[in-house]
């Protein structure tokens, strides 16, 4: 699936996603790092968080293409 879990980050198609957990809400959540837009994702398990992260990346790429706007990831 192209996923690496390292520290508190997910990786997919050169994108990095943060991983956080809310004990009060019992939910994992995060955002795509290294982009100028705010794109978030969430899930009630690591598996569902990962799937939502992947879908958020795909939606972000598609949205940029639909707007004729290049996207770039600033990693580092």
Residues 6+ apart with CB under 8 A from 74: 34, 35
Count of other CB atoms within 10 angstroms of residue 8: 11
73 close to 34: Cβ distance less than 8 angstroms: yes
How does pLDDT run across 32-47, given as a tens digit for each residue?
A: 999 999 999 999 999 9
Any idea where the domains of the chain sit in the sequence? 5-66
Residues 6+ apart with CB under 8 A from 66: none
Q: Quick one: pLDDT at residue 72? A: 75
pTM for the model stands at: 0.82
H/E run at residue 42: strand 40-43
């Amino acid at each position: 699936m192209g996923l690496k879990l390292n520290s508190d980050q997910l990786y997919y198609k050169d994108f990095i996603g943060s991983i956080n957990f809310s004990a009060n809400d019992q939910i994992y959540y995060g955002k795509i790092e290294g982009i100028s837009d705010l794109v978030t994702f969430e899930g009630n398990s690591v598996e569902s968080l990962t799937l939502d992260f992947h879908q958020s990346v795909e939606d972000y790429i598609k949205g940029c293409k639909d707007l004729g706007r290049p996207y770039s990831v600033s990693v580092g």
